[in-house]
Homo-oligomer: A and B are copies of this chain.
Amino acid sequence: MAVTFLQDETFESYSVRLSPFFKMKRENGIIEVRVHTHDGEALFGLEMHRAFAQMFRAVGADRQNEVMILTGTGDYWVRSVNKENSGEHGADAGHAPPFADFIYDTFHIDGTKIVEELIWNVNIPVIGAVNGPGFHAETVFLADITLCTPDTTFVEPHFTIGLVPGDGNYLILQELIGLKRANKAMFLGQPITAQQALEWGLVTDVVPREDLLDRAWAIARYFMQRPREVRALTTNVARQRWKNLFTREFAMHLSHEITAALIRPVSIEAQEEAVTGRSGYFEAT
């Protein structure tokens, strides 16, 4: 009796296919995925947003991946918005996709899949290694272990720039740092320092930038000493609360963000530095 399964896509295939957004390497079952833009610091845009979901789907479907490290390039997790090839903040909307597709495809579907594919389909331990400030940190927060550098700051800038915080980042903050701290970060736009993130249980460790990847790999190798099934089923157990939370509340959050964005275009001048927490927040005088 031969057992002949249909093969899923190989590392060799998807690592090339996704290379415009992610550099990947794999050793002994440990896959390191590094987000980048032109091999420099990541600039976030519509394409990268979708590519995150596509990457999680490919990495998750390949059963030869056993532990994942997710990190960024240079001094920022995300340095800024990619004005070159993204219509997100829309100056050049004429060349963007048609309105309805834009909203449904890029806000609803991509906004849903970027977190769902990670939570439901990457059934292996994930180590987030946050190499510096930036927004859209929800993917590294959802990692099982999250390291960050001492200069990292985390921001929840939606409300600051006139949007509803529906992409999952605020939902994660509610769960990890509690409703009141999450509200202070979100309603008042205040950045969370690495030290606060550690004290409040938002990250696991603060590690100097020069040691960050070494630490992530050391942890990954420690994980690899356990049997594959123990690793995977432990991850399943650890993820169950995220699955509960996102199933129960995420679709409501995201559709509120989309509803509000359709009713009111962003009305406060989006300050570029809001995404790294250097401006835009409430300050007591």
Contacts and interface: CB of A to CB of B under 8 A. Distances in A.
Contact of A264 (B17, B100, B219, B243): B100
A267 interface: yes
A259 interface: yes
A27 interface: no
Interface residues of A, number: 113
Most buried by B among A51, A63, A97, A255: A255
Interface stretch (A35-43, A68-76, A131-139, A234-242): A234-242
Given A236-B251, A237-B256, A87 B3 contact: yes
A81 interface: no
A203 interface: yes
A157 interface: no
Contact of A219 (B177, B188, B230): B188
Contacts of A202: 180
Interface string A167-208: 000100011111111011011100000000000111111010
A118 interface: no
A145 interface: yes
B179 A175 contact: yes
Contact of A95 (B3, B176, B188): B3
A229 B104 contact: yes
Interface of A: 1-6, 8, 17-18, 20-21, 46-47, 50-51, 54, 57, 61, 63, 83-87, 91-92, 95-97, 99-100, 103-105, 108-109, 116, 120, 123, 125, 144-146, 158-159, 162-166, 170, 174-181, 183-184, 186-188, 200-205, 207, 215, 218-219, 222-223, 225-230, 232-234, 236-238, 240-244, 247-249, 251-253, 255-260, 262-264, 267-268, 282, 284-285
Contacts of A97: 3
Given A237-B165, A259-B108, A263-B103, A176 B178 contact: yes
A214 to B, nearest CB: 9
A162 B224 CA distance: 11
16 contacts: A5-B46, A57-B61, A100-B228, A104-B233, A108-B229, A144-B183, A146-B180, A164-B237, A176-B178, A179-B201, A181-B201, A207-B284, A218-B282, A237-B257, A248-B248, A259-B262
